[in-house]
Structure 1
Amino acid sequence: MSAKLCLDIPVILPEIPDAADACVDRLKGELAGRPGIEQVHVVKGTEPNAPAQLCVHYDPDTLSLARINDIVIGAGARLTESYGHLALNVDGIGHQRRARSVAEQLLRVKGVQEAEASAAGTVRIEFDRSALSEEALRSFLGQIGIHERPKRGPKPRAAGLDRGTAEPATGDAHTPGEAHDHDGDHEHGDAEGGHGHAHGGIFGANSELIFALLCGALLGIGFAIEKLVPAPAWLPIALFVGAYGFGGYFTMREAIDNLRLKRFEIDTLMLVAAAGAAALGAWAEGALLLFLFSLGHALEHYAMGRAKRAIEALAELAPDTALVRRGDEQSEIPVEELQIGDTVIVKPDERIAADGFLIKGTSSVNQAPVTGESMPVDKRPVMDHPAASAAPDTVEAANRVFAGTINGSGLIEIEVTRKSTDSALAKVVKMVSEAETQRSPTQRFTDRFERIFVPSVLALTVALLFAWVIVDEPFRDSFYRAMAVLVAASPCALAIATPSAVLSGVARAARGGVLVKGGGPLENLGSLNAIAFDKTGTLTEGRPQITDVIPAEGVEEEELVAIAVAVEKLSNHPLARAIARDGAERLGERPIPTATDLGSLTGRGVTARIDGDQITIGKAEMFGSDGVAPLSPEMADAIAKLREGGRTTMVVRRGDKDLGAIGLMDTPREAAKATLARLRELGITRMIMISGDNQKVAEAIASEVGIDEAIGDLMPEDKVDAIKRLRGEGKVAMVGDGVNDAPAMANATVGIAMGAAGSDVALETADVALMADDLAHLPFAVGLSRSTRRIIRQNVFVSLGVVAVLVPATILGLGIGPAVAAHEGSTLVVVFNALRLLAYKDRGA
């Protein structure tokens, strides 16, 4: 079943007045290449002044509305204000069946477009603001027993942090909940709390476990009195009734919720079986059934709580207060009050309170909490403070710090570049929380299987209830057999098999500096055997340097370099920055002319004006096409020689005269060769490098790092086509920076962005984000995904295998007690098997 979303184009692309603009086509192209999106087209407004709309047809089981929002935001767009997004961390959800029940109840509320809930206590709702408000949704959740975790005040500054770990030394885990519009103007409310109180009650989070143990105690005492002690007959029955009360309390609550939804779940089946046992006088057997079931549930909730707390611990990494200098005064304020441009003082061994860049002091910073890097990273102040303040996104990694990371032995001062709600850590926590609710391909399969399997089991149960008509046995025996089959065939373990593994995998990835946006990317990354890499900044350092300057005949080298520097310092492209930086060093004190009217020729070069003359700088291929005069034979020969040496080349032309050529080289990353070898060990059999550079340059870099396939001479749109072709041959991941490579990444099976901690766009557009700018983290992500996929398969096999064994066994006479024990045992097996992912280690690291 497909869903449809229509967005006003002037709203999602505010700068674009006309639906025929090329930017609309680019946005359509990015969306249309996504798995799960069936069609993207423009619909003209029906009224004279009505704006055109972008209409997206998508499969909500494959791609959520929130993910479409991420992609659109990453492309420079924003969703219409009509759609609200509520993401909350709540108490009251202890397992996957309860999560599914909550989601279904929300979907019945008028105005709710999409609703997901997870066993980790996360609820995500997309709703129509014209029909529904956030307050009404919170009120409805309260009515069904779901409560947002209470806010907490700032905690004392943590002392004695272990600088070698990413975990806080003290404090309770919590996760911010958020409520915000899709227009990018987010309102964040921190719904923070300690450990999840899955079922509430007088004993808090332990209520269900204590009730289960009380049930077992009353059952044991009653059984002992009945068998061993002379006592009135009513006494053991009274104890069994008490056991029923404690063992059935939480089960009854869930059964009532499910019956309201006209669902016949395992909770209802247990109550029916226990009630039947009581009606037939078998109080002890009914109490045993409820004891085993409630104990199994309590242990399941405890185990899932471990995975949940692993995610919640991420939010605890950032301190609650910051030491700020404003004017001549220093004061400690809550991080929520920090403003962009504030100066924060960070003492040695303290956690950094905000994202920003250094303006004073040097230190080494442990970035493991955010990026997963194992070694501290040296940090130094920016050279040009005003320029950094004007363009903080262009600040180099050596000058940049993130909230939640740990300062080393130096006293440093940083300028804040993001508010606390927009820090890299806050975005990771938010996205990980939302990722918990995204269903994986295997989970969608098991959901479809359950929709067929459960009615079949019910039909078999009804048939077995009448076995006494055919077989010479009392109704009591037929009833017990039917109840035993019903219990044995209930797919509890199957329901939790995939979500528990996804939750643990996403939590472990986040702790290792890898953000995985849900079960789909996690499973897909673990199943593919081909990866495409962008060259610049991915396989190479992304810091090209000038190696050759070849002036044309009659042109001074200094004139060529000065003109190139004047133009390129107006651009933020990596090659432009390299020319501006290295060229200025070559010129020394020589004056640089002033360039104006910079124009970008996407994927080819730039134009500008100096003293009224047009300056053109770009690839050799742009000369001789689209009305641009071809290169002189002299320049063509120079370019050919530079490319033979593996150089990236740029030609500089003034008016219609070629001034010369500049050769640059970007060095391969130190970790590239080892990383690619490790990926081959993990089963990635095909690796391809795609690049906008000349084919010979691309082949030279590919050969150096150990890649067999290299595709060069690609424009940005050509990269998209290349990825589409590769996807036509099977699943393929695309690794890039998440910004320039966003369209190609969107068309891959899995888009992987590197260095995402410093880029909002990369965080929004990628399916998998490597927070550190370190290629060595890719094998960890692939290996973890493969382990997650393997554990999901093991869990599904165990879940279905136990059902396959128990159903015939109960038909042949296995009692309800052993059936419940095996049933709950299989559920615990799959949960604890999934928890192994929290301890995953990359063996090649």
Structure 2
Amino acid sequence: MDDAPSQKEEYRTPHSYLYILGENTELYFSIISGIFWLLGVVFSYTHDDTPLIATTLFVFGVAFGGIFTLITVVEDLFRKRFEIDFLMLFAAIGAAILGKWGEAALLLFLFSLGHALEHYAMKRAKKSITALSNLAPPMALVKRNGKLTEVHIEQLKLGDIIVVKPNSKIAADGVVTNGTSPVNQASITGESVPVDKRPNHNWQNENDINKLLPEHRVFAGTLNGNGVLEIKVLKEAKDSTLSRLITLVKEAEAQKSPTQHLTDKFEKYYVPLVLLLVVLLIFSFLVIDETFQQSFYRAMSVLIAASPCALAISTPSAVLAGIARAARHGVLIKGGRPLEDLGGLKAIAFDKTGTLTTGRPTLTHAIPFGDASKSHLLKVAVAVEDLSDHPLAAAIVEGGKKELGNIAIPKAENLKSLTARGIQANWKESLIHIGNRRLFEELTQKKVPEEIDLKMSELESGGHTAMIVHQDDSYLGIISAMDIARPEAVSTLATLKKMGVQRMIMLTGDNQKVADAIAKQIGITDPMGSLLPEDKVNAIEQLKQQVGNVAMVGDGVNDAPAMAKSTVGIAMGAAGSDVALETADIALMADKLDNLPFAIGLSRKAKVIIKQNLIISLGMVALLVPLTILGTIAIGPAVIGHEGSTLVVVLNALRLLKYEIQE
């Protein structure tokens, strides 16, 4: 069959002008060819006194079985390309010249049938990828001057407000400005459960999709649920996550894996040696006692047996199927090399913030002191911090309001920042201070109470940022915030350990105490804190020297140098992130750490299937070539073995499309 797919072209199929019976014309022609061959065989046995009729039936079989191969060979010769189709056609012509029309018809019947089934199988592997192009709707409803206008998505401009009706596809990447609705994001992120979307009340000033929370941002090609959404367009159609995903997946298809490079190098020397052997066998009648026809026939049999069709298709078919399966699960694997390398990892290094943790602070403790109640402590903290724009303030306000429920909280006023110490404000005719020990030592001219000091030390040693809340002359208590571990981090790391990943390292710029605290919670083996970006690169280099293959998992921005130095760079939550998609070898489109074991398991399965395919393809050649040289088998059995092995490796590769991680 055809050689491996060209690395810069689509997988080759005969041109559409030949599809007179639809896209399966080649399959229909091969079936017709087989019918004529079968009729010829039957007629030659039942009417052996009239061989002309049987020969005519075989000729029709050759014509229908060879038309697509002939067209492909002619086009290849015009392009100065010498493909396996030429070898098969040459063998069929040779058999016909010798009067073996039945064997010529059998060869072209099985070759064309194998070709057609192979194209069908490969189209199935590409289906998940090419379907991406049809995800985005061609038109969008735009709100302009108070009216709804339908425009082509290419005409959408940044800042346009589009309206998405229930059960409709979203036309652009953007921020939700009005309406609530669940959105199915499986096509982009691989998430099986729809994500509830709600408006971002600061949408007028928001132009960066990467800064948005998941509940506020939407992607082109995702499916809206039962509510109407209004969305501000943040990316033009050509720059949408879907468009970049399609481009990157197509580039990934063209990248060769290490095994494929090896088989290409093997074929470079193997094919000329086969052709030399065939030429020598053609003239073997000069040195052994047989006719030219017998020597030529044997040479044609060897040519068929030795053609590396199965070898050529064994690796690319598995790589393509693996990439397609990963894309359906929300994992973008950018080519054959990372697909193979991922399965051989001995260690994985993780960035902390946004990878092992949620990436944003969360209120973790509200501990009252003395006669103060927890409710009062939270009311005071929320009222004052609501005036601040500090990231920790947002965490305290969000967490506090969640704990307090619908309780009304009087507003604070006159916020004042106290540099390196904390803040102060007025609340209900009292003066509030929130800050560190230094602030209260300056205010009271004495150390903070021992009970508060010990509790703060305990929280700080666990990685929390702790603050004292003070009202007039009274200590109300302590509030703390922390970038907490992802809910799925513990189970993911446990799964990776079961899969044989020996070391799991955390690389972070936070101090070592914070690194140790997070590591203890989630099961990291080697926490490394207080690292600058260049320190992370050095850490990756040392790990590679110690254990071999190492992956770096991060957000693709400040971790880009370490990703580039690692064996495999893996970007977390790459949907919408330009830098993550461009820098990583593998992108986990959803912000889901638990997709990592799936990707590693898929890689290992792909490596097993590639190895099986190589054994099948090379094993069949090793079996058929000696048998044809010795004359033990003729063209017919050689064709069946040759074409059968090619189909087996393709169908074996397609098993990757059904891959599911084993629990």
Which one of 607, 618, 624 corresponds to residue 789 of structure 1? 607
Corresponding position: 1:397 with 2:214: yes
Give the letter for the 2:9 counterpart.
A
What residue in structure 2 maps to residue 543 of structure 1?
360
The answer as to 2:292 corresponding to 1:475 is yes
Structure 2 CA distance for partners of 1:508 and 1:584, relative to 1, 3 Å: closer
Counterpart for residue 413 of structure 2: 590
SS in 2 for 1:205: coil
SS at match of 1:752: strand
Asked if structure 2 preserves the Cα contact closer than 8 Å seen for 1:120 and 1:304, the reply is no
CA deviations on 1:707-742 (whole Å, 9 max, x unpaired) are 111111101111111112212231111111112211
| Conserved 8 A contact 2:169-2:222 | yes
Cα–Cα, structure 1 residues 718 and 583, in superposed 2: closer, same or farther, change >3 Å? farther
Q: Which residue of the partner structure matches residue 645 of structure 2?
A: 826
1:253 and 2:67 matched: no
CA RMSD of aligned residues (A): 3.4
State how 1:265-344 maps to structure 2 within 5 Å: 265-344=83-162
Q: Does residue 733 of structure 1 match 2:639?
A: no
After superposition, residues 367-446 of structure 1 pair within 5 angstroms as 367-388=185-206, 390-446=207-263
Q: Give secondary structure in 1 for the equivalent of 2:254.
A: coil
Larger RCO (CA within 8 A; separation ≥ 6): 2
The 1:782–1:648 alpha-carbon spacing in structure 2 relative to 1, beyond 3 Å, is farther
5 Å matches for 1:482-493?
A: 482-493=299-310
User: Whole-Å Cα distance in 2 between the matches of residues 804 and 261 of structure 1?
Assistant: 32
Deviation at residue 472 of structure 1 after TM alignment: 2.0
Partner amino acid, structure 1, of 2:222: T
SS of match in other structure, 1:373: coil
Deviation at 1:749, TM superposition (A): 0.9
| Contact 1:370–1:405, Cα closer than 8 Å, also in 2 | yes
Which of 310, 313, 318 is matched with 1:501 structurally?
A: 318
Partner of 2:29: 211
Take 1:524 and 1:568, find their aligned partners in 2: how far apart are those partners?
Answer: 47
Q: What are the ranges of 5 or more consecutive residues in structure 1 without an aligned counterpart?
A: 1-94, 104-115, 122-144, 147-196, 550-560, 570-575, 597-604, 606-632, 651-660
Select the residue among 632, 637, 655 that pairs with 1:836: 655
Structure 1 residue 348: deviation in Å?
2.1
Partner Cα separation in structure 1 for residue 483 and residue 362 of structure 2:
6
Q: CA deviation at 1:209?
A: 1.5
Partner residue in 2 for 1:578: 392
Check whether the contact 2:30–2:64 (CA below 8 A) recurs between aligned residues. Answer: yes
Aligned partner of 1:748 among 548, 552, 566: 566
Relative to structure 1, the CA distance from residue 505 to residue 455 in structure 2 (aligned partners, 3 Å threshold; closer, same or farther) is: same
Distance change >3 Å, CA 548–CA 216, structure 1 → 2: closer
Per-residue deviation, 1:430: 1.6
Separation of aligned partners in 2, 1:329 and 1:584: 37
Q: C-alpha distance in 1, partners of 2:502/2:288?
A: 60
Match of 1:240 in 2: 58
- Structure 2 CA distance, aligned partners of 1:448 and 1:777? 34
Answer yes or no: is 1:454 the counterpart of 2:271. yes
Aligned to 1:97: 3
Q: Hey, what's the Cα distance between the residues in 2 that align with 1:696 and 1:594?
A: 28
Q: Secondary structure at the match of 1:202?
A: coil
Q: Which residue of 2 aligns with 1:658?
A: none
Judge which range, 401-410 or 747-756, deviates more: 401-410
Q: Paired residue for 2:346?
A: 529
- How many Å apart are 1:257 and its aligned residue? 4.0
* Counterpart secondary structure, 1:439: coil
One-letter amino acid of the counterpart of residue 655, structure 2: R
Could you say which residue in structure 1 is the equivalent of 2:438? none
| CA offset digits 1:187-238 (Å, max 9, x no partner) | xxxxxxxxxx5x8432342222122122222222333333324775543333
CA distance in 2, matches of 1:727, 1:244: 57
**Which residue is equivalent to 1:119?**
11
| Aligned partners of 1:538 and 1:775 also within 8 Å | yes
Distance 1:842 1:828 in 2: 26
C-alpha contact 1:120 1:305 (8 A) present in aligned 2: no
> Secondary structure of the equivalent of 1:719?
helix
Alpha-carbon distance in 1 for matches of 2:528, 2:549: 18
In the TM superposition, residue 119 of structure 1 has moved relative to its aligned partner by 1.7
Name the CA shift for 1:595/1:838 in 2 (closer, same or farther; >3 Å). farther
Compute the displacement of 1:98 (Å): 7.2
**Conserved? CA contact 1:648–1:694, under 8 Å:** no
Hey, what's the Cα distance between the residues in 1 that align with 2:260 and 2:411?
A: 63
Q: Secondary structure at the match of 2:343?
A: helix
CA contact (8 A) 2:2 2:85 kept: no
| Paired position in structure 2 for 1:360 | 178
1:821 and 1:778, CA in 2 relative to 1: closer, same or farther beyond 3 A?
same
Contact 1:363 1:407 (C-alpha < 8 Å) held by counterparts: yes
Distance 2:641 2:463 in 1: 65
Structure 1 residues 456, 261: CA separation in 2 closer, same or farther (over 3 Å shift)?
farther
For structure 1, which segment, 578-587 or 327-336, has the greater mean C-alpha deviation from structure 2 after superposition? 578-587
In structure 2, relative to structure 1, the CA distance for the partners of 1:469 and 1:269 (3 Å cut) is: same
Contact 1:314 1:511 (C-alpha < 8 Å) held by counterparts? no
What is the SS of the residue equivalent to 1:117? coil
Is residue 758 from structure 1 mapped to residue 576 from structure 2 by the alignment? yes
SS of the equivalent of 2:215 reads helix
Task: Check 1:718–1:98 CA distance in 2 against 1; reply closer, same or farther (3 A cut).
Answer: closer
Change (3 A) 1:509 1:404: same
What CA distance in whole angstroms lies between the structure 2 residues aligned with 1:387 and 1:789? 48
SS at 1:291 equivalent: helix
Shift in CA distance, 578/118, structure 1 to aligned 2, threshold 3 Å:
farther
Letter in 1 for 2:172: A
Judging changes above 3 Å, is the alpha-carbon distance between structure 1 residues 271 and 739 closer, same or farther for their aligned structure 2 residues?
same
In structure 1, what residue type is equivalent to 2:155? E
Who is 2:334 aligned against?
517
Aligned-pair identity in percent equals 54
Give 1:336 shift: 2.1
User: What do residues 530-575 of structure 1 show as CA deviations (whole Å, max 9, x unaligned)?
Assistant: 11111111111111146699xxxxxxxxxxx99x999995xxxxxx
Is the CA contact 1:567–1:595 (under 8 Å) kept in the aligned structure 2? no
- 1:668 Cα shift? 0.8
Report the Cα distance in structure 2 between the residues aligned to 1:281 and 1:646, rounded to whole angstroms.
85
Higher CA-based Rg = 2
Give me the whole-angstrom Cα distance separating, in 2, the residues matched to 1:803 and 1:262. 27
SS at match of 1:323: strand
Secondary structure at the counterpart of residue 317 of structure 2 = helix
Residue 517 of structure 1, CA deviation: 0.6
Map Cα deviations across residues 357-388 of structure 1 (whole Å, 9 max, x no partner): 11111122221121111212121110212222
Instruction: Tell me how far 1:675 sits from its aligned partner.
Output: 0.8
Q: Is the 8 A contact 2:181 2:196 kept in 1?
A: yes
Aligned-partner SS, 1:756: coil
Q: Which residue of 2 aligns with 1:16?
A: none
User: What is the Cα deviation at residue 319 of structure 1?
Assistant: 1.9
Matched residues in 1 for 2:263 and 2:292: separation?
34
Spell out, residue by residue over 1:252-311, the C-alpha distance to the aligned partner (whole angstroms, 9 max, x if none).
233334445665542222222222222222211112111111111111111111112221
For 2:513, give the aligned amino acid: K
Letter in 1 for 2:148: Q
> Relative to structure 1, is the Cα distance of residues 275 and 346 closer, same or farther in structure 2, using a 3 angstrom cutoff?
same
